[in-house]
Structure 1
């Protein structure tokens, strides 16, 4: 190698470092991350600028727009057309014609040569103003393109954006058009505001952890699932970021894994989403809905990450900070536009005044004797001087030159009165603009209000904001596997198919095992698990199960006394072995039962023969024993050796009726004291629900039940408590009252089904003695006194299908529901109401128990 060749060698590491930084900066600034000023990526900005260049009010072929955009964007046509379709599908800036794809199904748009586009009126008004736009040379230097478009609206938050660059990414969720304008107005008024995502695909969103769109936050988004009938569910809205195809794939995958059971699925989506899920006979619709949220894309979690380019630097902000920046930028742009308009008006006023002076004072005659151009300019300048003291700026040579260009025809037809009127109109406009500049914030507020009034129609919120319930996957998973036991060797699991079958369970269930040495363990359902010999009881275990009570009698040690105890297992550490006895070696379980609703048996204890014992047999009632923690030693049964313990008779549940609450935010039942207390429930007690459509249902108090969004009434059902309804029949133009009782059936009971859209339910009451007040309108200036009616006296209880009695023949202004009359309940109803207010036995026990470990 020669000396010259050695000197030409460069270090690759240095070159790589420089090139990588250049590339990373380019991707961040020029491709993936939007500008905070106009909310656009470079390709989007260039597409809109190109469309404005071609704008003539008619549709343009997208292929032509893409071709024109390539003057500014140094990338391929596919990248430009894809970006344009994405802008169009957000339904704000581009007026589309042709097949632009489907945001519900994920179908692609037709080729760019087949579809057309033009700018919307909103875009033309809000996005462009060449007078306030700052320009830069295009990539090849042949054209000029905007650095940022002067957008007078928080477009970035309205459209949302997603991009991946080198070393960072951005994900800003779309927000509601109207709510963004309202938030901007609140900011300008100095008030606080909150904004939350809104999606074109609708659905519902839980924004509890949104964290104002900052990194680390998240939102949960759900599809809208309704029950079509007893065996069919219908999805009518899908989560943001999914399509009907991806959603159906996730459902089929969950079905294949056995998490849910469905018969078939149909996709009838066209202009609106419609996915029908047909369930297998006997499936619970409520549990299936929960399972769809737990195991499929019917519920997804999205983590926002608001990264923007601010002054050529990536910056992480909250959506509130972005909106404040966009709003302040809009105020600055409005100020610039007003200042430009003021300058133009003043210039127009200045020349119109000069023109009037020039013609009115016949100064054009002064140039007749002049032979040179300098002389002409000087003569006009000299003629103007006595008349220009009121002008707002000095007269320049350029002004005089413009005066010389006035045609003789204009001078001959010049109307001084019209000229003066025009000048005065300019003065009014100037004062108006100055007023706006002096009151810039109020002007900006009116600007936003005008945008809302002009373009806000049809842009109401689509995604419902609500708090989601937390679904326990183990409770909604379908029993998709069979569970077995090998008692001889001490194994349990799903793969022991040659051994004893126990039950069906889900592969995500927890299994609880009790052994005859008084030990207990909870483990995951697995193919094969060794738990030890002496297995006494195996079952599926649910965390925080307060209703399953275990009754136990055990001998403490080889020859020790016997104890009895009742306990629940609500919290554990998985795969840890617990000792339920006093802990002495050689302890043995003499009697054990697991009771799903706290049942207490009566047992006979038979003692071994002993010279000191006269009575060798006695009965024990577990109902006399308090429920304590699993670690308690228990109560002494006897000090003498027990021969055996025999079951004598079943007992009833010792648990007080279960208190149930209804959480109005998530429309779910709970036993945790959240929401409104419905009452204490036991056995066959039911919950009454009535919706706005006039449909009553009786449902169980199972915590997995789901409830109608249009719920009007929910309470504990009392069979002898009548329901009162006042409704308006539009066909007969009359108000009717009916009172009825419901049958004890799970089928929906319809008490109102008038199809006329003008008919409606006015009052639904479940009070024993409801009272209403009728308010009448004025007739010929005379006012009729309000009328108070006791519905119990007005009409007797009739069948649910009865039309009812006519309430009044007069027109009504409104119907008020008054406090019901006092009602003396029967002894049985009083007892029920007392139970509704009393804590359960478990509530009392839990206050004393402090030794329960919380596991996974």
Structure 2
């Protein structure tokens, strides 16, 4: 760019008017992209640790609270109200609201809100209704301890964070893709999270594992506390209804019945599994019936469903949250500890506000009693000015205010002047005394809670569990999975042929020699007369090498199959005997099993699946003075070694 600018300057007047001057844009790209990335990370995709909400979710909850009158509101109305705070379109707000509603925790829903089991979408927002759940009203809002900020257009006030007194983020989970980073916090069980919070407050250890609304079976061996690099395996619950029918009653998280059935039909089309037909009877509960042809093993089909379809999948969690306007990667344990501590802090703030309000009530109730009981109001009868009235009341109160907890202010005196004559005339001293004593009990109780804050927080969590924990038991069963070898459960759906002389193997050589049934995921092991070996994937036609002497389906890590071989090392060379097994090699690489001389030749070869050792007879030609021309060689006397021996 600089060179061009210098050239332009040098040309001076020769430059024509329509030539465009070059402008540097690197700075703009750098700044603008960083601004955009920051906005997406902080304001759209990643939840805050304080309340567990993304901005759109927080604004929806705030709008629901503003509209709350105990009755249902049209979702379209809530979305419109949310748009006063959220600078994005109505569709994105409606989608976010449906996702909150489907989690069945914060929003009490009415109408068709879609189905997470079948993947059906919710009805349009003008047809469905919502209101805040009792749990949300108890846990999410507390205006007195909420920090407020201006909305995007400055017309309204919205919460910076909602004062959520509960580890909401772990119970609901969160997923979002930002710029340069993403988050995937898996949902956990409501009651287990409360139990973990109580253990944390008591200083005890706890462990948290995900629990999915779609139920299913999960293997949490590598969960790694939800940190980057962890993994969870999830499976559908498949059982045998009768000898020819399987039933799926629970599905893995991240799938629905439609996508699951599609994956089963694809595996059937590819010949990995064999099914007759599939029925989806899902309504409130999942029920997928898989009918098998006669002669197909149900147990083997269950394993094949896990190996080749979405009946088993793995989920990689990634715990990313926003703290102090910065993304932070933490695990489920730390999220719970931070959230529990935050809850304790907010309970403390609420108690402190409550104590201050009670003390203020007590102060004014005591002052009112003194004012009426001692007829201080009569002292103002002679006063002509407002200042005189204030001074007279102040003077009249002084002898009786020794037991008050703070000094009497002008505001207090002004409030006393606002008491109605009717109230003074009907004033009951005993009733006033009982009211003050009741306030004193509440003050003592609040002070006791503040002095024993951890015990108060534990009782708070226990109360939440007793009120809202019913029906929220664990859905996903935790189990350690057995590894399923795909090659053992796959249906042998094709035939393998060999042209020994030309050196070809494949599934399309139907005119040549049939070898065995195989599947399209199998590996094939091939040996040639020259002492070479290759392992290759099943294909329609593959060249190995001329004069093939043995072809078979290869089993990885197989130490049972033993190969017995006698070969001549090069033309006219010595003969060698070897026994070996092949456990694993690089695919499509030609291995030399001889000592390495060219024109080596295999005289005898056998492959024994159970390590058998045969006896072979050796015949020698009469050369020189050799006496013994014939003897038996027992391969059992030869030590089994690796293929390179």
TM surpasses 0.5:
yes
3-state SS of 2:277 partner = strand
Contact 1:565 1:625 in 2 (8 A): no
- CA distance in structure 1 between the aligned counterparts of 2:639 and 2:190, rounded to whole angstroms: 57
Matches within 5 A, 1:482-497: 482-497=495-510
Paired residue for 1:459?
A: 472
- CA distance in structure 2 between the aligned counterparts of 1:137 and 1:554, rounded to whole angstroms: 87
With CA pairs under 8 Å and 6+ residues apart, which has the higher RCO, 1 or 2? Answer: 2
- CA distance in structure 2 between the aligned counterparts of 1:298 and 1:181, rounded to whole angstroms: 31
3-state SS of 1:265 partner = strand
Paired residue for 2:429?
A: 416
Paired residue for 1:316?
A: 329
3-state SS of 2:474 partner = coil
Match of 1:65 among 78, 102, 116: 78
CA offset at residue 349 of structure 1? 0.6
Paired residue for 1:281?
A: 294
- CA distance in structure 1 between the aligned counterparts of 2:75 and 2:283, rounded to whole angstroms: 24
3-state SS of 2:160 partner = strand
CA offset at residue 222 of structure 1? 1.6
CA offset at residue 587 of structure 1? 4.8
Matched, 1:380 2:393: yes
* CA gap 1:15/1:604 in 2 versus in 1, 3 angstroms: closer
CA offset at residue 205 of structure 1? 1.9
Matches within 5 A, 1:494-505: 494-505=507-518
3-state SS of 2:143 partner = coil
Q: Deviations over 1:260-308 (max 9, x none)?
A: 2222222111111111222233323233222222222112222222222
Q: Aligned residues, how many?
A: 631
Matched, 1:96 2:109: yes
Match of 2:341 among 328, 338, 344: 328
CA offset at residue 583 of structure 1? 5.3
CA offset at residue 632 of structure 1? 7.8
Matched, 1:212 2:225: yes
Match of 1:79 among 89, 92, 99: 92
Unaligned runs of 5+ in 1: 634-856
- CA distance in structure 2 between the aligned counterparts of 1:209 and 1:177, rounded to whole angstroms: 22
CA offset at residue 15 of structure 1? 4.1
CA offset at residue 153 of structure 1? 0.5
Q: Deviations over 1:536-568 (max 9, x none)?
A: 110001111122233334455656666555433
Paired residue for 2:545?
A: 532
3-state SS of 1:442 partner = helix
CA offset at residue 620 of structure 1? 5.2
Contact 1:94 1:120 in 2 (8 A): yes
Paired residue for 1:629?
A: 641
Paired residue for 1:301?
A: 314
- CA distance in structure 2 between the aligned counterparts of 1:222 and 1:153, rounded to whole angstroms: 30
* CA gap 1:553/1:6 in 2 versus in 1, 3 angstroms: closer
Contact 2:276 2:291 in 1 (8 A): yes
Contact 1:519 1:577 in 2 (8 A): yes
CA offset at residue 48 of structure 1? 0.9
CA offset at residue 234 of structure 1? 1.7
Unaligned runs of 5+ in 2: 1-12
- CA distance in structure 1 between the aligned counterparts of 2:562 and 2:171, rounded to whole angstroms: 55
CA offset at residue 476 of structure 1? 2.5
Matched, 1:390 2:403: yes
Paired residue for 1:253?
A: 266
Matches within 5 A, 1:586-665: 587-606=600-619, 608=621, 622=635, 624-625=636-637, 628-631=640-643
- CA distance in structure 1 between the aligned counterparts of 2:46 and 2:257, rounded to whole angstroms: 29
CA offset at residue 627 of structure 1? 5.4
Match of 1:269 among 282, 294, 297: 282
- CA distance in structure 1 between the aligned counterparts of 2:31 and 2:582, rounded to whole angstroms: 64
Matches within 5 A, 1:673-688: none
- CA distance in structure 1 between the aligned counterparts of 2:568 and 2:23, rounded to whole angstroms: 86
CA offset at residue 12 of structure 1? 4.6
* CA gap 1:603/1:23 in 2 versus in 1, 3 angstroms: closer
CA offset at residue 383 of structure 1? 1.2
Paired residue for 2:352?
A: 339
3-state SS of 1:192 partner = coil
- CA distance in structure 1 between the aligned counterparts of 2:544 and 2:602, rounded to whole angstroms: 17
Q: Deviations over 1:440-478 (max 9, x none)?
A: 112111111111121111111111222223332222222
Contact 1:566 1:625 in 2 (8 A): no
3-state SS of 1:629 partner = strand
TM-score, with structure 1 as normaliser:
0.70
Contact 2:566 2:602 in 1 (8 A): yes
Matches within 5 A, 1:711-722: none
CA offset at residue 62 of structure 1? 1.4
Matches within 5 A, 1:543-622: 543-555=556-568, 564-581=577-594, 587-606=600-619, 608=621, 622=635
Higher strand share: 1
Matches within 5 A, 1:200-239: 200-239=213-252
- CA distance in structure 2 between the aligned counterparts of 1:443 and 1:91, rounded to whole angstroms: 27
Contact 2:51 2:168 in 1 (8 A): yes
Paired residue for 1:354?
A: 367
Matches within 5 A, 1:758-797: none
- CA distance in structure 1 between the aligned counterparts of 2:389 and 2:283, rounded to whole angstroms: 76
Paired residue for 1:639?
A: none
Q: In terms of mean alpha carbon deviation, does 9-18 or 84-93 score higher? A: 9-18
Matched, 1:471 2:484: yes
3-state SS of 1:193 partner = coil
- CA distance in structure 2 between the aligned counterparts of 1:129 and 1:5, rounded to whole angstroms: 64
Q: Deviations over 1:315-372 (max 9, x none)?
A: 2222222222211111111011000000000001101111111122121222222222
Contact 2:563 2:607 in 1 (8 A): yes
- CA distance in structure 2 between the aligned counterparts of 1:302 and 1:487, rounded to whole angstroms: 46
Higher helix share: 2
Match of 2:463 among 437, 450, 456: 450
3-state SS of 1:320 partner = helix
- CA distance in structure 1 between the aligned counterparts of 2:47 and 2:60, rounded to whole angstroms: 14
Contact 1:546 1:568 in 2 (8 A): yes
3-state SS of 1:520 partner = strand
Paired residue for 1:795?
A: none
Paired residue for 1:125?
A: 138
3-state SS of 1:492 partner = strand
- CA distance in structure 1 between the aligned counterparts of 2:438 and 2:359, rounded to whole angstroms: 12
- CA distance in structure 1 between the aligned counterparts of 2:98 and 2:638, rounded to whole angstroms: 69
Paired residue for 2:7?
A: none
Paired residue for 1:405?
A: 418
TM-score, with structure 2 as normaliser:
0.91
- CA distance in structure 2 between the aligned counterparts of 1:114 and 1:465, rounded to whole angstroms: 39
Q: In terms of mean alpha carbon deviation, does 116-125 or 281-290 score higher? A: 281-290
- CA distance in structure 1 between the aligned counterparts of 2:527 and 2:485, rounded to whole angstroms: 24
Contact 2:501 2:548 in 1 (8 A): no
- CA distance in structure 1 between the aligned counterparts of 2:469 and 2:136, rounded to whole angstroms: 14
3-state SS of 1:359 partner = helix
Contact 1:349 1:426 in 2 (8 A): yes
CA offset at residue 8 of structure 1? 12
Matched, 1:167 2:180: yes
CA offset at residue 616 of structure 1? 6.0
Matches within 5 A, 1:794-805: none
CA offset at residue 621 of structure 1? 5.1
- CA distance in structure 2 between the aligned counterparts of 1:531 and 1:98, rounded to whole angstroms: 65
Contact 1:183 1:193 in 2 (8 A): yes
* CA gap 1:397/1:481 in 2 versus in 1, 3 angstroms: same
Paired residue for 1:794?
A: none
Paired residue for 1:514?
A: 527
